[in-house]
């Protein structure tokens, strides 16, 4: 009598999705730890100079902040590579695990108390990330970075990008001068919206590097360098406003709010972009 066997989660995932999963998990550990080091550096720099929260940049002369920055770069490189192998809907939610790393380390090292709702939030992060991993969608094979460019040139995505850029400019030039010192959500809003544009560009660069290393040179296409410029601009913008938030609030509040915005934006981008 034949017996049917239920396929394991590994059998249900492609090898590329598994590679992306491992890279995304390692990225969460590095990024989660980096926020602790950066926060200590910002506090140390703020004690002897102008705080980042009020527009100061004294942290650029603080070695401890740079240690945290280098740790974050390592994590972002792993995250960057993860996008080359797995869909954004799999990679981005796993970034929520960095909340758990930050929350636990902040409780131990920075003495930031983790309340019962914070613990519940960590549990929900694990449950949500596990659900996403088990039901991660398969992606079609992309043979050139120009295919991603064609997706980005679709009217739906262009309309979304224009709406995001308009909203970001309004936040930066109207709301931040008036409400930046009292409402951190204007900073986090800028970071999340800008991050949603970088998702598509990071994915494109990851695919370009993956194809180039496999023998199909994508560096000859101008689209690759345009995507690179978009990523650099988005990263610098996010770094500037995230430092203002980190210097003013506890990491549990900052990371939770930012990652909620990042994930919602990534979902929207995944829906807007054609499959």
Q: Which residues contact 250 (CB under 8 A, 6 or more apart)?
A: 106, 110, 112
CA-nearest of 264, 75, 93, 269 to 188 is: 264
Does pTM surpass 0.75? Answer: no
Task: Dig out the tokens for 160 from the structure.
Answer: 């979304």
Classify residue 186 by burial, with Cβ atoms within 10 Å: 0-12, 13-18, 19+. buried
pLDDT digits (tens, 9 = 90+) for 153-162: 888 888 988 9
Provide the 10 A C-beta neighbour count for residue 14.
Answer: 13
Cα torsion 41, 47, 245, 111 to 10°: value is 70
**Which range has the worst mean pLDDT, 110-124, 135-149, 154-168, 244-258?**
244-258
Give the tens place of pLDDT for each residue, 52-90: 555 667 777 888 888 988 998 898 888 878 877 877 777
The domain locations on the chain are 9-272
Residue 52: the pLDDT is 58
Cα–Cα distance between 180 and 186 in angstroms, integer? 6
């Amino acid at each position: 009598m034949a017996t049917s066997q239920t396929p394991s989660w590994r059998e249900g995932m492609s090898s590329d999705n598994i590679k992306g999963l491992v890279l995304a998990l390692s990225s969460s550990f590095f990024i989660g730890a980096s926020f602790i080091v950066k926060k200590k550096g910002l506090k140390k720099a703020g004690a002897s100079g102008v705080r980042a929260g009020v527009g100061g940049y004294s942290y650029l002369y603080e070695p401890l902040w740079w240690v945290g920055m280098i740790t974050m770069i390592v994590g972002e490189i792993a995250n960057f590579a993860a996008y080359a192998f797995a869909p954004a809907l799999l990679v981005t939610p796993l970034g929520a695990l960095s909340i758990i790393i930050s929350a636990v380390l902040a409780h131990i090292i920075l003495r930031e108390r983790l309340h019962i709702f914070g613990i519940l939030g960590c549990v929900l992060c694990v449950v949500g990330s596990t659900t996403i991993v088990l039901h991660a969608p398969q992606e079609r094979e992309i043979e050139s970075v120009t295919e991603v460019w064609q997706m980005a040139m679709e009217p739906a995505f262009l309309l979304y990008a224009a709406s995001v850029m308009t909203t970001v400019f309004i936040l930066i030039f109207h709301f931040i001068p008036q409400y930046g010192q009292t409402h951190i959500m204007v900073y986090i809003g800028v970071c999340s919206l800008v991050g949603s544009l970088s998702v598509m560009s990071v994915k494109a660069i990851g695919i370009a590097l993956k194809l180039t290393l496999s023998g199909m040179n994508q560096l000859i296409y101008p689209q690759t360098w345009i995507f690179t410029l978009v990523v650099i601009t988005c990263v610098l913008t996010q770094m500037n406003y995230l430092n203002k938030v980190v210097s003013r609030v506890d990491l549990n509040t900052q990371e939770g709010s930012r990652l909620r915005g990042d994930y919602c934006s990534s979902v929207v981008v995944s829906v807007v972009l054609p499959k």
